[in-house]
Amino acid sequence: MSKKSRISWLLVAPLLVLVTVGFLLPIGYTMVKAVENPEVTAALPRTAAVLDTWDGEGMPPEAAFDALVEDIRSSRSGLEFGAMTRRLNFELNGSRSVIMKTRRTVDALDAPYSESLPVEIAEWGDPEFWRLIKTNSNPVTASYLLRALDLQVTPGGSIERVPADRAIFLDLFMRTFWISIWVTVICAFLAYPTAYYISTLSDRAASYAMLLVLVPFWTSILVRTTAWFILLQTEGPVNMALVWSSIIDEPIQLIFTRFAVYVAMVHVLLPFQILPLYSVMKRQGPQYLRAAASLGAPPWRQFLSVYLPLTLPGVAAGAAMVFMLSVGFYVTPALVGGLQDQMVSYYIAFFTNQSINFGMVAALSLLLLVFTGAIILIAHRLIPNVGGAIRA
């Protein structure tokens, strides 16, 4: 390696280390979390060891019952025990109460437990419940990823769709996709004539007009969302103006609706579409349009066959940016949308802060990452040089 290359590496190294340790490792850790399955083995180590040798046919051996009773009697760490019950309940609704009931009765039980335990709690006489424990003693699980696609593993080992009342995630991904598509389309539709108009202005007028784009662009997303949050309240300025101008008779529900999500997201993301479009349009000289006109093309033809193809890269660059950002949007829909208007990001936050389930956090994050990655790859295939990568 030449001396220059060595110095280059030395200068890049500190940042590379920070990005690796603070960003790439956490992303990798999340991917591991999406398939990791330590809870049952941690709380019921002996049972897990015995069940490991069980073939899953019929009832498990007497040793499994002994191990289970021993594990539950000696379960000291409430944290591990709680994590295990939550883990099993995620797989099979109601398992939590079975385990809790077992913990309450286990001290009074007499051997042989394979007879006394099922008498007290019927589930322990059911091979399927034992298979549930065995399956989840496995250090790796696909449950979270499957669940994030509304699928689950049956105790028999096959994959099936979850019952309709719990199937929310496919809808969620579709909704995220469609909201993002619509926001992208609306932004492109609003930005194109606007950027065109600004590009026809004199330099001085254009810089003032661009200020109207740049000021919102520089204002934080939260502040802009807050503005809409206040304006769209039922007693808020927008409703007041509509009533005052007799368009409506009494205030209507605007906040916490899909409409509010579209308005606020388009407002936040519009500059990302106007800016690249403007810079492309600014570079277009009038000569091509003149050439088209001199060849007898009517204005609509000049636009469709000459101007539009020339400015399309600007549309593509902006649209890719808008779409990529809206797919991962959290703050705006969370504040101005209702429960029916939330996107994948909302559930990532929900499983982190409210229903603590890090496996689902990781699985949804991983799928969203794959989803975004696929979009970037497609965008790159269609239009090279799209997306915000560093080039040197």
- Binders in 234-263 for another protein, by CB under 8 A: 235-237, 240-241
| Contact between 85 and another protein per CB under 8 A | no
| Contact between 390 and another protein per CB under 8 A | yes
- Contacts with another protein in 23-52 (CB under 8 A)? 23-27, 29-30, 33
Assess whether the previous peptide bond of 112 is cis (omega < 30° from 0): yes
| Contact between 188 and another protein per CB under 8 A | no
DSSP letter for each residue of 245-275: TTSSSS----TTSHHHHHHHHHHHHHHHHHH
| Contact between 342 and another protein per CB under 8 A | no
What are the phi and psi torsion angles at 148 (to 5°)? Answer: -65, -10
CB nearer another protein, residue 270 or residue 317: 270
Token pair 């009038």 is at which residue? 286
Measured between alpha carbons, how far is 347 from 360 in angstroms, rounded to an integer? 9
CB nearer another protein, residue 56 or residue 371: 371
CB nearer another protein, residue 89 or residue 233: 233
Token pair 């389930």 is at which residue? 357
Measured between alpha carbons, how far is 323 from 328 in angstroms, rounded to an integer? 9
Residue choice 58, 78, 157, 193 for contact with another protein (CB under 8 A): 193
Helix axes 127-135, 78-91, angle to 10 degrees: 110
| Contact between 363 and another protein per CB under 8 A | no
| Contact between 174 and another protein per CB under 8 A | no
CB nearer another protein, residue 75 or residue 226: 226
- Contacts with another protein in 299-338 (CB under 8 A)? 299, 324, 327-331, 335
Q: What angle do CA 77, 83, 87 make, to 5 degrees?
A: 150
According to DSSP, residue 92 is labeled S
Part of the chain binding another protein (CB under 8 A), chosen from 60-68, 140-148, 310-318, 359-367? 359-367
CB nearer another protein, residue 151 or residue 349: 349
